[in-house]
Amino acid sequence: MKSRRVARVIAIILALLMAFSIVFVAIESLTAKAVATQAEINRLKEEKKEYERRKREIQSRINTIEFERMTEMAKKGVLDDRIMLTGLEIDNINETIDFYGTLIVEKEAEVVAAQAKEDGQLQLYKRRVRDMEENGTISYLEIIFASTSFSDLLARLDFVRDIMQADEKTYFDLTIAREETEAAKEVLKHTKLEMEDERHLLETKQSELEEQLEEASALIEKIEADLETEKALRAEVQADEERVQREINQKEEELRRAQEQARRAAANRVRGTGTLGWPVPSNGTVISGYGIRMHPVFKVYRQHTGIDIPARHGASVVAADTGTVLTSAYNSTYGNYIVISHGNGVTTLYAHLSSRRVSENATVTKGQVIGLIGSTGISTGPHLHFEVSINGSRVNPVKYL
């Protein structure tokens, strides 16, 4: 009778253990996901260290006498490099924060699963104790001495050993489950603190970016405040604009010839839809139009070859139409700029970008992000300078948008 009672206890223990194994599998799955997310965070941290190293190099260059001897536009190029890296740092931090958000959700699920495992083990332990109380404490010696033969004795010894191991494992698993729950809670707490550190760092970098943008803008304003320098600057700008247009025309011709030679091959140029979309989704305002405009101080007239669209630093710039990237480069006038050919002699230019997201010869689709708003080159604040050319001549973009 007692043997049947003991067997029933062991059967209950085994059944409960099998039920809780589902919880263990769930915890293992969550842990695997968390490890993958943590790997991405570690990768971003290494990337961040590289940005910091490159910024230290640029700052060291700024602190040298050679920097003071540079021309104003050469200085602006160095400042643009520093601004670009700060922008990349901000992108990195935002991405890291996103991963921390995912990791926290996973860690919270781990805590819930660990707590469920602990609660299950506790119920299992309570069930075993309650069963012993209800049925009376089983004497291991009583079971052994009740044997009727040597073979029966050996069987009972195995039976007693199974009972003892089951009881010991139940208590051991409860202890481990409690430790795992506490560990999961501690990791969750630590992860949340790390995320807060990243948020504070983001605020610091955003303030740093604002200071750097003001410094770069002040340099351009200083250049434009001097009449002789302004004249030299305008000559440089005009030369740059003409050179860029020559490059556009040359590359358009090269692309046209390649298309004729390739004909139906995969290398054929992608043609646009024929209509241009707005290149800055976050803003539809034009702060400076196409055509002749006057210098605010010296009243000197000059040609503005495109339109200026303001937006926050780091906002998305998209392709106005489907096409092929002719140019993705940097120069002192346009800063970071991109030129896209849309076929039928139509090209668009996107200038003063903080960063470029496409390379030359890449195929882009209408509305695809190709870069981010910045203030590189001759610019006194974050905006997009947008140009449209038809068969090699610049036209008013507004008429084609």
| Residue 54 and residue 203 share a domain | yes
Q: Alpha-carbon distance 342 to 261, whole Å?
A: 18
The CATH number of residue 99's host domain is: 1.20.1050
CA 374 – CA 311 distance, rounded (Å): 9
- Give the per-residue pLDDT at 267: 38
Is the same domain home to 263 and 323? yes
**Shared-domain flag, residues 356 and 392:** yes
At residue 364, the pLDDT reads 94
Phi-psi category of residue 191: left, alpha or beta, with phi > 0 → left and psi -120 to 50 → alpha:
alpha
Does 348 lie in the same domain as 318?
A: yes
Structurally, how many domains does the chain consist of?
Answer: 2
Domain finish residue from 222, 239, 256: 222
Amino acid at 288: S
Using 50 as the pLDDT threshold, list the residues of the chain that sit under it: 1-2, 6, 9, 22-23, 137, 264-268, 295-299
Q: By the 8 A CB rule, do 290 and 390 touch?
A: no
The answer to whether residues 255 and 212 belong to one domain is: no
pTM above 0.75, yes or no: no
Give the C-alpha separation, 253 to 326, whole Å.
Answer: 11
120 and 266 part of one domain: no
Assess whether 201 and 344 both reside in one domain. Answer: no
Please report the beta strands in 132-182, taking only residues with DSSP state E, as ranges in sequence order: none
Scan for tokens 């702060």, then name that residue. 287
Decide which of 173, 204, 222 is a domain's last residue.
Answer: 222
Tell whether 293 and 365 lie within a shared domain: yes
Quick one: which H or E segment has residue 369? strand 369-372
Domain span including residue 128: 2-222
Task: Please give the helix or strand (H or E) that residue 245 lies within, else none.
Answer: helix 227-262
The last residue of one of the domains, among 222, 244, 259, is 222
Residues 80 and 192 in one domain: yes
For position 297, what pLDDT does the model report?
A: 40
Q: What is the pLDDT of residue 285?
A: 85
Give yes or no: residues 341 and 311 share one domain: yes
216 and 321 assigned to the same domain: no
Q: Are residues 232 and 213 in the same domain?
A: no
Q: What is the CATH number of the domain that holds 326?
A: 2.70.70.10
- Cα–Cα–Cα angle for 56, 57, 61, rounded to 5 degrees: 115
